Amino acid sequence: MKFTKKISKTFFVFLVLSLLIWLLITFSKEYVTQVSLTVAYDELPQDQLLQKAPEKELQIIARGTGFKLLSTRLFNHHVQLKTNNLSKKGKHDYFFLASTQKSHIQKQLVSGLYLVGFVKDTIHLEIGQLLSKKVPVIPNLKIDYHIGYDALKPLVINPDSVLVSGPEAQVKALKELTFQQISLENVSANFSQKASLLLDERLKNIKYNVKEVIVNGFVEKFTEGSLMTPFTVKNRPKNLNLTTFPKEIKVVFKVDLPRFKNVDQNSFTIVCDYAVSEANGFPYLIPKLISQPSFVRNVKLIPNKIDYLIQK
């Protein structure tokens, strides 16, 4: 039993030694194979920028011992590529041949690893001008006002536009920005809310001078009012006398409570165009609101047709 155990251990030792010797012999030999290198690119001039991420790997054919090739595969190896001698193919499409930088790349490889060739020689880069512009911020709110209350004036967004800079193609495509939706219920007073901009994750090279905005809302109590207002008839023949029914129009409107007293019948200008009715064969006049106070809203005219008689 002891003799059997001694043979088993000896066999195992010889097996391990044989394997090590085989590995040493195998990895000491030279091979030619494909190797993947992680690449970085020299910085472009200040007024130029990559429009999108370039290729991150360069596939080369390399010659070296098994140890060198294995270490290159196990440990991510980086090489820097030059971008000072590019050829132009289109408006933003540039390219260069990796083979023109063969000696430059060889100097960056580990000692004992030799560059034989390239799997793909042409490297494409999409390059454009560095561009900056202001992009407007569009509101994104869901507001439920308390009964009798409404917005007194348009929202104020601070800032109302954002300075963006980055690749020309991406900046030109960016027309507007918005922010995370603000939802408010039963609103009856002024409010101020901070909100983060919604940024497109695909536009990774875009820079923003701010990434948050403050939204200010102005709220007031509103009331509905009505009054009788006279109107005029234009384009009536000089020798034609008209009697209208009614002689005044009821104007119904909505206004904020503090300025309700500022509205009277002189605040509205209403005109009926006789020529329009005659041209269309209408036996009535159509009243139209020509002017109103800027702070008045939801104006309705009652009635919307004015009967008339021609007096001869």
pLDDT digits (tens, 9 = 90+) for 254-295: 999 999 999 999 999 999 999 999 999 999 999 999 999 999
Domains of the chain: total: 3
Q: How much of the chain exceeds pLDDT 90, in percent?
A: 54
pLDDT digits (tens, 9 = 90+) for 11-52: 666 656 656 665 555 555 676 788 888 898 887 777 777 877
pLDDT tens for residues 108-128?
Answer: 888 778 888 899 999 998 888
Both 123 and 137 in one domain: the answer is no
Q: How far is CA 188 from the centre of its chain?
A: 32
Residue 10 lies in a domain: no
What mean pLDDT is predicted for residues 130-139?
A: 93
Q: Residue 1: pLDDT band by 50, 70, 90 thresholds?
A: very low
Final residue belonging to a domain, choices 129, 164, 179: 129
**If you average pLDDT over residues 306-311, what whole number do you get?**
89
> Which of 203, 221, 239 corresponds to the end of one domain?
221
The CATH number covering residue 251 comes to 2.170.120
Domain shared by 29 and 99, yes or no: yes
Q: Domain of 275? A: 231-311
Asked whether residue 97 is domain-assigned, the answer is: yes
pLDDT attached to residue 3: 47
What are the angstrom distances between the C-alpha of 270 and each of 33, 43, 264?
88, 67, 13
Could you read off the pLDDT of 40-87 as tens digits, one per residue?
Answer: 888 777 777 787 778 888 888 888 876 667 666 666 678 899 988 888
Per-residue pLDDT at 308 exceeds 70: yes
- Tell me which residue of 29, 59, 53, 25 sits closest to 41, measured CA to CA: 53
Percent helix, percent strand, percent coil in the chain, to nearest 5: 20, 50, 30
The answer to whether the predicted template modeling score (pTM) of the entire model surpasses 0.85 is: no
Residue 120 and residue 99 share a domain: yes
Q: What is the pLDDT of residue 153?
A: 93
Whether residues 38 and 97 share a domain: the answer is: yes
Asked if the structure places residue 11 within a domain, the reply is no
pLDDT at 136: 96
The rounded distance, in Å, linking the Cα atoms of 109 and 60 is: 11
Question: How confident is the model over 175-185, as a mean pLDDT?
Answer: 95
H helical segments located in 125-198: 168-173
Provide φ and ψ at 118, rounded to 5°.
Answer: -125, 140
Domain boundary among 202, 221, 240: 221
Position 177 scores a pLDDT of 96
Rounded to whole angstroms, how far apart are CA atoms 196 and 213?
6
Residue 168, domain CATH: 2.170.120.40
User: CB-based burial of residue 267 (10 Å sphere; 0-12 exposed, 13-18 middle, 19+ buried)?
Assistant: middle
